[in-house]
C-alpha cells in the first residue's frame, strides 16, 4: 500500500493537529465536469461507469487531477447493494434510479436475505484496488455506502419518493418486516464497507440521505440503530488503528448527539445546521464535516470567498473540521467556481490552526 | 359576529386553561374526502374552487360536518397572492402549481410592487364572511397565508422545485433584489391577513413551507425576518385582544427559538421535532401545534391510538398544545382513520389538563 503523502483529511477526522482545513466535495466526480460527461458517454451510462473498474477509477481521479482536493471518493452509487441483491437497478435519463422488483412483503425480504450481494460487488473492490494504485498515495480514498434506512426507502418505494408513503406505511403497519429488512441491510453494508477497507480505502462514509423524513423516535430506531450496528462491527474488526468512519444523516438537525455517540469519528452536516452550534454540542466527541450550501457555487467569486470564511469562522480555531459542501455539488456548477472554493479554503484556513 | 360555542383552540393558542387538547388537521378540507372531490369536480378544478366563495365555504365546512374538529381552516391556497399579482397561476393535474410569468429580474420585481393584489383578492374575504356565517360559531375559522420566502420560491422558480437553484442563486448573487421582493410580499401578506381578520377569521397561520431549505443565517434573514414584520404589523393593528398568530417553518428544527421570539402566539412543528424537547425550549413563550407524522394515518387503529398517546405524553400536562399532523393530510388516507384520530385525541387528552 503506497504511503499517504497528504494525510490532512485523516488527521482532521481523528481530531489530530493539522496545518490547514482539509477539503473534499460530495459528488466531486460528477456531471459538472466535462471530462466526467465524456467518460460517462463513452461508458454508455451511469451504471456501466460504476461497474467498470477502469472507468470508475478514471472518473474518481478526474477532480483530483484538476483541483487541489484533500481526498478522492470512490465513484459508485449507494444502490449497488440493492442491485447486487437482484432488485434490478436502472437509471432513466434525468429521472433518477428505478428498482424494477421492489420489496413489498416478507417473502421478498427473505429472498433478499438469502442473496449473496458481495459476490456481485467484487467490481467495487476491484475499482478500489485500481484507484489506490493510481492515486499512489497522493490523497486518501474514501469508500462509502448508503445507510440501511436509505437503501430500504428505495427498495420499498422502487424509486425516489416525495412522501415515502410505502416505506413509512410499512414502518407503522409492519415494523417487524421493516426491522428484518434493515437487519439484512446492516449486515450486508457492514460486509461491503469492510471489503472496501480490506481493498484499501482509508476512510468510509455512510450516507443516510433520507433519515430526515422520520419522526425522532422512528429515526433512532430505524435509521440510527442500523448505522450503529455497522459502526460497532467495523470498529470490532479493526483493532487499534481504525479507518475513520463518517456518518451523515441529511436533514436531521436534532439527531446530532445520537449520531456522535455511535462511536463514529466524524459527523457530516448539511447546510442548514450552524457549524458553531454543532461543534458546541458534539465537537468534543467527533470531527465535523461540512457544510457550505451547494448553491453558493452559483454566486460571484467574492461571495463564495466570504461564505467560505463564514463557515471557517463558525467552526473556529483548531482541528476536527473537514470542509465540504452540505450536499452534493450540482450539475450546473461551473468548474471554475470549484477552483475558487479550493483556493479560498487553502488561503483562509491555515489561520484557524 | 356569532359568539364561539367551541373556543378551546383559541384558549390553547393563548395558553389559557382548557379541558382537553384541541385538534384540527392541516388540509382537512381536501382530496381524501369524497365529498371534496365531488365539489371540486363540480367546480371544474382547484383554482375555481378557491375563487368561488360559495364552493370554498362548502368544502371548508365538509370536515366540520363529518368529524368533531375544533377549528375550520379557510379553503384556499398560499399562491392566491402571486396569482393576484398577475403571475398567471394554474394547476396541472397531478403536477402542482405553475406560475406562467415567473420573476427573474428587477423589472419584474418592480412591476409586482406596483400591483394591487388586494383588489383581486376580495373573493377570499367574501369566502371568509360566508364561512363565518355558515359556521355560526360552532368552531373558530383559521385564516392563512404563505410566508414571503415560500411565496418567493414559487414566484422565482415558477413551480415546485427540488433544489431551489434559481431563488437561492438570486439570494447569493442579488440579495438586494430578493430583499425587495420579500419587502413587497411582506406588506402584501400583512394586508392580506389583516383583511381576513377584518372579515372574521379568529386565528391566522403563516405557512413557511420552504424555510427549511436555507442555511441558518439565510433562514433568519430571508425567511424569518419577513415573517417577523408581518407579525409586528398584525399585532400593532389589533390592540388588546389580538387574533392568535401561528407560525410554521417546515423542516426548521433549529430555528424554533427564533420563531418563538417574533411575538407570535404559537409555533407549528413538523413531525421530525420531538414535542417535549420543543416545549422545554420555547414552551414558556408560545403554544405548540403538531405533530403526528401524516403517514401514521395509514396504520391500524391501535397504532394510530398509541401514536396519539405518544404525542400527548411528549407535550405533557397543561395547556398550550394544539394537536395536528406535522404536515398536510395525504390524499390516500381513508376518512375513517381521521375518525380514529379524532376519537383518540378526545378520549386521551382530558387526562393532560
Chain A partners within 8 Å of B310 (Cβ):
217
* CA distance to partner chain B, nearest, from residue A16 (Å): 28
Mean pLDDT of all residues belonging to chain B: 96
pLDDT tens-digit map of A290-349: 999 999 999 999 999 999 999 999 999 999 999 999 999 999 999 999 999 999 999 999
H-helix or E-strand spanning residue B64: helix B53-66
Name which of A164, A272, A330 is nearest B212 (Cβ-Cβ): A272
Selecting from A171, A252, A272 the residue whose C-beta is nearest the C-beta of B214 gives: A272
Cα–Cα distance list, B20 to A211, A341, B270 (Å): 33, 55, 21
| B contact set with A (CB within 8 A) | 163-165, 168-169, 171-173, 212-219, 251-254, 271-274, 277, 293-296, 298-300, 303, 307, 310, 326, 330, 332
Which domains, ranges and CATH numbers included, belong to chain B?
Answer: 8-352 (3.20.20.210)
Tell me, yes or no, if A154 is annotated catalytic. Answer: yes
pLDDT at position B242 is: 86
If you search the block for the grid coordinates 393530510, which residue do you land on? B329
Q: Do B342 and B323 form a contact (C-beta atoms < 8 A)?
A: no
Residue B24 C-alpha, separation from nearest chain A C-alpha, in angstroms:
20
What proportion of chain A, given as a percentage, has pLDDT over 70?
100
Instruction: Give the burial string for B297-317 (b: 16+ CB within 10 Å, else e).
Output: bbbeeebbbebbbebbebbee
For A336, residues 6+ apart whose C-beta sits below 8 A from its C-beta are none
Is A129 an active-site residue? Answer: no
Catalytic residue, candidates B27, B229, B279, B285:
B27
Choose among A172, A294, A299: nearest Cβ to B298: A172
B207-234 mean pLDDT: 97
Count CB-CB contacts under 10 A for residue A110: 13
Contact between chains at B173 and A219 (C-beta distance less than 8 A):
no
- Asked if A31 is an active-site residue, the reply is yes
- Are B299 and A216 a contacting pair at CB < 8 A? no
For A172, the closest of B163, B295, B332 (CB atoms) is B295
Name which of B215, B218, B301 to mutate to probe chain A: the one with the most chain A Cβ atoms within 10 A of its Cβ. B215
User: Residues near A5 by Cβ (< 8 Å), separated by ≥ 6?
Assistant: A137, A138, A139
Q: Is pLDDT above 80 for B240?
A: no
Q: What pTM was computed for the model?
A: 0.95
Those residues with Cβ within 8 angstroms of residue B241's Cβ, 6 or more apart along the chain or in another chain: none
CA pair distance B149, B66, nearest whole angstrom: 35
Q: pLDDT tens, B84-105?
A: 999 999 987 777 899 999 999 9
Q: In B, which residues are within 8 Å of A277 by CB distance?
A: 216, 254
Q: What is the pLDDT of residue B239?
A: 76
Nearest to A330 among B165, B213, B219 (CB): B165
* Cβ separation B272–A293 shorter than 8 A: no
The pLDDT value recorded for residue B80 is 96
Cis before B291? omega within 30: yes
Residues of B in contact with A213 (CB under 8 A): 272
Q: What is the pLDDT of residue A242?
A: 86
- pLDDT value of residue A92: 78
Most B CBs within 10 A among A215, A251, A269, hence the mutation to make, goes to A215
A77 noted as active-site residue: yes
Look up cell 402571486; give the residue.
B82
Residues of A with CB under 8 A from a CB of B: 163-165, 168-169, 171-173, 212-219, 251-254, 271-274, 277, 293-296, 298-300, 303, 307, 310, 326, 330, 332
Residues of A in contact with B326 (CB under 8 A): 215
pLDDT of residue A297: 97
SS (H, E, C) A196-235: HHHHCCCEEEEEECCHHHCCHHHHHHHHHHHHHHHHHHHH
In this predicted structure, what is the pLDDT of residue A253?
Answer: 87
Tell me the C-alpha distance between A293 and A313, whole Å: 15
Each residue of B258-295: pLDDT tens digit?
999 999 999 999 999 999 999 999 999 999 999 999 99
Identify the DSSP state of B219.
I
Interface predicted TM-score (ipTM) over 0.95: no
Place of cell 394591487: B116
Instruction: Work out whether strand A89-92 and strand A96-99 pair parallel, antiparallel, or are unpaired.
Output: antiparallel
Q: What is the pLDDT of residue A262?
A: 97
pLDDT value of residue A241:
78
State yes or no: pLDDT of B122 exceeds 90: yes
CA–CA dist A291, A309 (Å, integer): 12
* Alpha carbon distance A90, A295 (integer Å): 28
Q: Tell me what pLDDT residue A293 has.
A: 96
Amino acid at each position: 500500500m503506497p504511503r499517504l503523502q497528504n494525510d490532512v483529511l485523516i488527521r482532521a477526522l481523528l481530531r489530530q493537529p493539522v496545518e490547514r482545513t482539509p477539503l473534499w466535495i460530495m459528488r466531486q466526480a460528477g456531471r459538472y465536469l466535462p471530462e466526467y460527461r465524456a467518460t460517462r458517454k463513452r461508458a454508455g451510462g451511469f451504471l456501466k461507469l460504476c461497474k467498470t473498474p477502469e472507468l470508475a477509477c478514471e472518473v474518481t481521479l478526474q477532480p483530483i487531477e484538476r483541483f487541489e482536493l484533500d481526498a478522492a471518493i470512490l465513484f459508485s452509487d449507494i444502490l449497488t447493494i440493492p442491485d447486487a441483491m437482484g432488485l434490478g437497478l436502472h437509471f432513466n435519463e434525468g429521472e433518477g434510479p428505478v428498482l424494477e422488483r421492489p420489496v413489498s412483503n416478507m417473502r421478498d425480504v427473505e429472498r433478499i436475505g438469502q442473496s449473496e450481494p458481495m459476490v456481485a460487488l467484487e467490481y467495487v473492490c476491484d475499482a478500489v484496488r485500481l484507484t489506490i494504485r493510481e492515486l499512489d498515495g497522493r490523497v486518501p480514498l474514501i469508500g462509502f455506502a448508503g445507510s440501511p434506512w436509505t437503501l430500504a426507502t428505495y427498495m420499498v418505494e422502487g424509486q425516489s419518493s416525495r412522501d415515502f408513503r410505502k416505506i413509512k406505511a410499512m414502518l407503522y403497519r409492519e415494523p417487524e418486516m421493516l426491522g428484518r429488512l434493515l437487519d439484512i441491510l446492516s449486515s450486508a453494508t457492514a460486509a461491503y464497507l469492510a471489503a472496501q477497507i480490506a481493498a484499501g480505502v482509508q476512510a468510509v462514509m455512510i450516507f443516510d440521505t433520507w433519515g430526515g423524513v422520520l419522526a425522532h423516535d422512528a429515526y433512532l430506531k430505524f435509521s440510527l440503530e442500523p448505522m450503529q450496528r455497522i459502526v460497532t462491527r467495523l470498529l470490532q474488526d479493526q483493532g487499534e488503528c481504525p479507518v475513520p468512519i463518517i456518518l451523515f444523516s441529511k436533514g436531521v438537525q436534532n439527531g446530532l448527539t445520537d449520531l456522535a455517540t455511535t462511536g463514529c469519528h466524524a459527523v457530516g452536516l448539511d447546510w442548514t445546521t450552524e457549524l458553531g452550534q454543532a461543534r458546541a454540542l458534539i465537537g468534543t466527541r467527533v470531527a465535523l464535516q461540512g457544510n457550505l450550501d451547494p448553491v453558493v457555487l452559483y454566486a460571484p467569486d467574492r461571495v463564495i470567498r466570504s461564505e467560505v470564511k463564514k463557515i471557517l469562522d463558525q467552526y473556529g480555531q483548531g482541528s476536527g473540521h473537514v470542509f465540504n459542501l452540505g450536499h452534493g455539488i450540482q450539475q450546473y456548477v461551473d468548474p471554475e467556481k470549484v477552483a475558487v472554493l479550493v483556493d479560498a479554503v487553502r488561503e483562509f484556513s491555515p489561520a484557524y490552526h
